[in-house]
Amino acid sequence: MLLTGVVARRMSCIVLCYAGESSFEVKVEADSNDITEHPHDDKPRPYLCTVCDKRFAKKGHLNQHKQAHTGDKLYSCTQCEKRFATQRCLKRHMNVHSSKYKCTECGKCFESNRKLTVHRRIHSGEKPFKCPECDKVFRQSAHLTTHMRVHTGDKPYKCSLCDKCFSQSGDLQTHKRHVHSNRRPYDCRYCGKRFKCSRHVKLHVYTHTGAKPLSCRHCSDCFTRHSQLRTHLLKSHNEGTWLTCHICQKKFSQSGILKKHIVRHEGVKPYVCSDCSKSFFTADNMKRHQLIHSDFKLFCCGACGKYFKYKHYVKVHFKRCSVKLGFKPIF
- What is the average pLDDT score of the chain? 77
Q: What is the CATH number of the domain that holds 267?
A: 3.30.160.60
Q: How far apart are CA 250 and CA 261, in angstroms?
A: 9
Report d(CA 222, CA 239) in Å as an integer.
16
Kindly state whether residues 300 and 289 are assigned to the same domain: no
Q: Answer yes or no: is pLDDT of 117 > 60.
A: yes
The pTM of the full predicted model, rounded to 2 decimals, is 0.43
Q: pLDDT at residue 59 above 70?
A: yes
Instruction: Specify the number of domains making up the chain.
Output: 2
**Residue 265 and residue 301 in one domain:** no
Q: Are residues 316 and 329 in the same domain?
A: yes
Residue 84 lies in a domain: no
Judge whether residue 219 has pLDDT over 90. yes
Do 327 and 304 fall within a single domain?
yes
* DSSP helix, strand, coil percent of the chain (3-state; round to 5): 40, 15, 45
Looking at the structure, do residues 193 and 287 belong to the same domain, yes or no? Answer: no
If asked whether residues 283 and 257 sit together in one domain, one would say yes
Q: For position 60, what pLDDT does the model report? A: 82
Domain span at residue 320?
1-20+183-211+296-331
Predicted local confidence at residue 325, as pLDDT = 66
pLDDT band at 71 (very low <50, low <70, confident <90, very high): low
233 belongs to a structural domain: no
Q: What is the pLDDT of residue 112?
A: 92
Of 42 and 165, the structure prediction assigns the larger pLDDT to: 165
Q: 207-229: buried (b, 16+ CB within 10 Å) or exposed (e) per residue? A: beeeeeebeeeeeeeebbeeebb
Look at residue 217 and tell me if it is in a domain. no
Q: Do 189 and 290 lie in a common domain?
A: no
